[in-house]
Structure 1
Amino acid sequence: MSNFLPEPELGDAAQRLYDEDLADHGYVMNLSRLWAYQPEAQGELFGLIGGVAAAGGLTLRQRAVLVTACASTIGDSYCSLAWGTRLAEVAGAEAAGGLLRGDDAGLEEPERAMAAWARKVARDPSATRPEDVEELRAAGFGDGQIFAMTAFVALRLAFSTVNDALGARPDAALHAAAPAPVRRSVTYGRPAETAQEVP
């Protein structure tokens, strides 16, 4: 079973979600089967996430660092595989695998500060200190960027929380497509589907 909820009857918006998956990936993602209950909500959430990232000038690589760091911190295997793979494409598979394990040696210095901040926000946001923000400033980030990356991580955590709580398992194809260092590093969270389980 790919999710705890059965697949809902598809309305027009959910069908568009499925069609986009088929066009982009060649299969319907388990996440989409879950968000088919409220595809408009997913669209609004992604719109907000994208708007925050754009306002903060966050590059794809920076977004991948933030998502990979926060997803691995909370044990979200789905987003870890998806965004670990994206990070591998722009930073190298070994760097991505390291970040998933909490080893940031393969990242550039400003990215290390971003990853550390994402982990703190994900782990215990009430425990952050002014010194943590100063570390981001010292890494070259302005206050607007710091707000943007914080809001970005928080919104990604909301998305992950829904997926994880309702049992979304990483797709077999997603797992198979991830580089070996990424697959080896994701030893937590819900196990990926196997090819035999795919309907």
Structure 2
Amino acid sequence: MIITPPPVETATGHVADMYAADVASDGFVFAYTQALAVNPEAHAAFEQMIRAVVPSIGIGVYEAATLGAAQAIGSPHCLLAHARKALRAEVVDEQGLQSFTRGDDSGFSSAEQVVIRYARKLSGDAGSMSDADAQELRDAGFSDRQIVDITFAAGARNFLSRSLLALAVPVDEMPGLPPALAQSLTAS
């Protein structure tokens, strides 16, 4: 990584909070957290956006949008982090995530599967999207607000994932994620 993050030992304010959260949950500061700490105001704004969309769509739909986008982008950072979050929140089980790495979304609810497809398309070919794509979300029972928030969730993942990839941020091992699953996620 060519950028130099703020040192852990001298971090203050929001950066210190970012670092402390990683240490409290995993015992070390992730490389992606350090990269994001170079602009703590942008990190805080990103976190605020996520807090603004999750209440209307729920954690399961948020993680489905995030995983679908991260997979389409090929973001190991976000695939690992959000696979772990999805497991912990019981959105999907380990077998469902293994299937997901092979393009089989059946471990997710039918509504979440629609969200994954939408997020993949948004992340891979947004220019070809039409009202028909949003109509699939509506047909799955999502309201206008939820359709917008699903779009924002997938778009936010594009912003963060592509930024980490562009900065060549190293990928850390993800504690608490079964090694075989982590390998499948990063190979997909």
What is residue 129 of structure 2 aligned with on the other side?
128
In structure 2, C-alpha distance between the alignment counterparts of 1:93 and 1:68, rounded to whole Å: 14
Cα distance, 1:180 vs structure 2: 4.4
What is residue 77 of structure 1 aligned with on the other side?
76
SS in 2 for 1:186: helix
What is residue 19 of structure 1 aligned with on the other side?
20
Amino acid at match of 1:12: T
What is residue 2 of structure 2 aligned with on the other side?
4
In structure 2, C-alpha distance between the alignment counterparts of 1:100 and 1:46, rounded to whole Å: 26
Cα distance, 1:6 vs structure 2: 2.7
Structure 2 counterparts to residues 1-199 of structure 1, below 5 A? 3-9=1-7, 10-13=10-13, 14-54=15-55, 57-89=56-88, 90=90, 91-172=92-173, 174=174, 176-180=175-179, 182-188=181-187
In structure 2, C-alpha distance between the alignment counterparts of 1:150 and 1:124, rounded to whole Å: 13
Identity %: 26
18-27 vs 110-119, greater mean Cα deviation: 18-27
Cα distance, 1:68 vs structure 2: 0.9
Deviations 1:23-48 (A, max 9, x none): 22211111121122111210111111
In structure 2, C-alpha distance between the alignment counterparts of 1:99 and 1:135, rounded to whole Å: 20
Q: From the superposition, tell whether residues 27 and 93 of structure 1 become closer, same or farther in structure 2 (CA, over 3 Å).
A: same
Cα distance, 1:11 vs structure 2: 4.5
Whether the aligned pair in 1 keeps the contact of 2:77 and 2:171 (CA below 8 Å) is yes
Cα distance, 1:181 vs structure 2: 5.1
Whether the aligned pair in 2 keeps the contact of 1:84 and 1:97 (CA below 8 Å) is no
SS in 1 for 2:57: coil
Amino acid at match of 1:31: Y
TM-score normalized with structure 2 length: 0.88
RMSD: 1.9
TM-score normalized with structure 1 length: 0.84
SS in 2 for 1:59: helix
Q: From the superposition, tell whether residues 188 and 167 of structure 1 become closer, same or farther in structure 2 (CA, over 3 Å).
A: farther
The number of aligned residues is 183
